[in-house]
Structure 1
């Protein structure tokens, strides 16, 4: 089946041929980039998508929920059930889920592992900064990103770097139900126990016995105490390391390729037999009101200058 598609409103320097959806769908479909697409993938970084009258699919790695007055379908972190939304958090782009089923203890030499790492560039996440400072009072936490760097150099290969550590601080920029980025997944792939904060429902997608879930504790101080306990007791540490990352050591249904293909098959079957949201009256009224509000806001700001 040949499908005309396009991409817009993604991050700067976005390259569609390197995107997950292009690579994934190319395995099953003949894709053609077109200025008049049948399917448009769009992100939150612009309004170019409003120029298109076709089936529009929203996806983002940011903490932004889909607006179904702007999109027909969404691949999002939202737990919303139904044909319009497919739960597909940012880490799902990796598509390396089979690797998380491996035996994590085999070949693991704790003698060669350093304590804990922290790799970030964003200096606005106060919870993450606070926790870094608290844990650093116990032992040095190696910071290899641009922010709070204490190594004297910036890490080039994050995966290789964090694989040298027993623990990895995996704090999201903000906390929201269902919002899970690549941070915990990076640590899992590197076989470093994640110290996670962000999605308070994280226990629904990953086995809570396999990582340190900050949301399970009353305070950061209590989390630090747990980390110290694991750091000083190899038996306890390996007990956690033996636990599978996925519940029952099975890949969740929403991450399985066959289910993702099935959902796209449904969406593509609507081409030519479906009125896109961009052509529906309620969407046009929504955008008209939005434009009027933007114009009023612009005028008010300029009048006050």
Structure 2
């Protein structure tokens, strides 16, 4: 059986986003014959970096965000975001789901060779970030750095000799040297979880995490340091130092599976994303027809009111002329 044609396009994504080859195209291509149509797509996936999505009047609009932004379900038809919502038109899709789809979920599930990990971790703690406005992260870097040197390999607070605009060549290999990684989100909101936590997990560097206060619903709380568990950033920093000063405590922490019972959470099940899109596509044409009828009814109502107003004005004028 031939695959169904689906005319799809993307709008308002970050600079460099490839409309021909991306997470959504790779996920849906095995199921549909995707036609990337920039003129008259049936389905439009759009982001937050502009507002050109409004030009696509006849497309089913699917909102996606990699930022800490709420979906407006009165503007879009469907949404994929970080939010934890009970709405059939919304699917929770944390950004780390896109990252793990590239290098594979198994990277977070494979057995850990503790002796090998310990031998690789020759340095204390690192941070690699490019956003200079995340106050909590910058404060924690200073507080922990005052207790023990923390290496910054990104554009922000770089202290390993790189010039502005250049960071470490290979982020993962850089992280791999360190026992701990500062994994603070840019901001905090329930459900807002990006790649910050899974990148150090992939390299068996213990994340020091801050951001999503419900993070323990997604990952094994015994496997990382959750700054939300502490009253102050200083308390969290002192706890990190305590773990680092105790080889037994460090080994006990690094032995833990990243997921409870070493079973990946539901957000790394890509079949649920495919099913969400299948439902959208199956309903798509019917939804567009329904929308067209609603728009036609709205136009008819406006015309009716204008006609009635004209008749009323004429009647009034005619009567007053008697």
The TM tier, using the shorter chain, reads 0.7 to 0.9
The residue aligned with 1:31 is: 34
The residue aligned with 2:82 is: 77
Structure scoring higher RCO (CA < 8 A, sep ≥ 6) equals: 1
Question: Secondary structure at the residue paired with 1:186?
Answer: helix
Flag structure 2 segments of 5+ consecutive residues without an equivalent.
Answer: 299-322
Q: Map of 1:43-58 to 2, 5 A cutoff?
A: 43-52=47-56, 53-58=58-63
Q: 2:275 aligns with which of 252, 256, 262?
A: 262
The residue aligned with 1:3 is: 6
Question: Secondary structure at the residue paired with 2:124?
Answer: strand
Aligned CA distance change for structure 1 residues 243 and 54 (closer, same or farther; 3 Å): same
Deviation at 1:267, TM superposition (A): 1.1
Contact 2:114 2:254 in 1 (8 A): no
Q: 2:120 aligns with which of 96, 99, 112?
A: 112
Q: 2:142 aligned with 1:133, yes or no?
A: yes
Distance in 1 between residues matched to 2:186 and 2:73, nearest whole Å: 25
Distance in 2 between residues matched to 1:76 and 1:277, nearest whole Å: 25
Deviation at 1:253, TM superposition (A): 2.2
Flag structure 1 segments of 5+ consecutive residues without an equivalent.
Answer: 285-305
Q: Give the TM-score of the pair, scaled to structure 2.
A: 0.83
Contact 1:56 1:276 in 2 (8 A): no
Q: Map of 1:210-221 to 2, 5 A cutoff?
A: 210-221=223-234
Distance in 2 between residues matched to 1:16 and 1:98, nearest whole Å: 27
Aligned CA distance change for structure 1 residues 234 and 17 (closer, same or farther; 3 Å): farther
Q: 1:183 aligns with which of 185, 196, 207?
A: 196
Distance in 2 between residues matched to 1:174 and 1:246, nearest whole Å: 23
The residue aligned with 2:210 is: 197
The residue aligned with 2:313 is: none
Distance in 2 between residues matched to 1:115 and 1:276, nearest whole Å: 60
Number of equivalences? 282
Q: In terms of Rg, which structure is larger?
A: 2
Contact 1:162 1:192 in 2 (8 A): yes
Distance in 2 between residues matched to 1:79 and 1:44, nearest whole Å: 19
Aligned CA distance change for structure 1 residues 212 and 277 (closer, same or farther; 3 Å): farther
Contact 2:219 2:265 in 1 (8 A): no
Question: Secondary structure at the residue paired with 2:271?
Answer: helix
Question: Secondary structure at the residue paired with 2:285?
Answer: coil
Deviation at 1:225, TM superposition (A): 1.7
Aligned CA distance change for structure 1 residues 92 and 277 (closer, same or farther; 3 Å): farther
Q: What RMSD over aligned residues (CA atoms) do the two structures have, in Å?
A: 1.8
The residue aligned with 1:287 is: none
Contact 1:50 1:278 in 2 (8 A): no
Distance in 2 between residues matched to 1:211 and 1:260, nearest whole Å: 27
Q: 2:183 aligns with which of 170, 190, 208?
A: 170
Deviation at 1:106, TM superposition (A): 4.4
Deviation at 1:56, TM superposition (A): 0.9
Deviation at 1:155, TM superposition (A): 0.5
Aligned CA distance change for structure 1 residues 128 and 276 (closer, same or farther; 3 Å): farther
Runs of 4+ in 1 over 6 A off after TM superposition: none
Q: 2:255 aligned with 1:242, yes or no?
A: yes
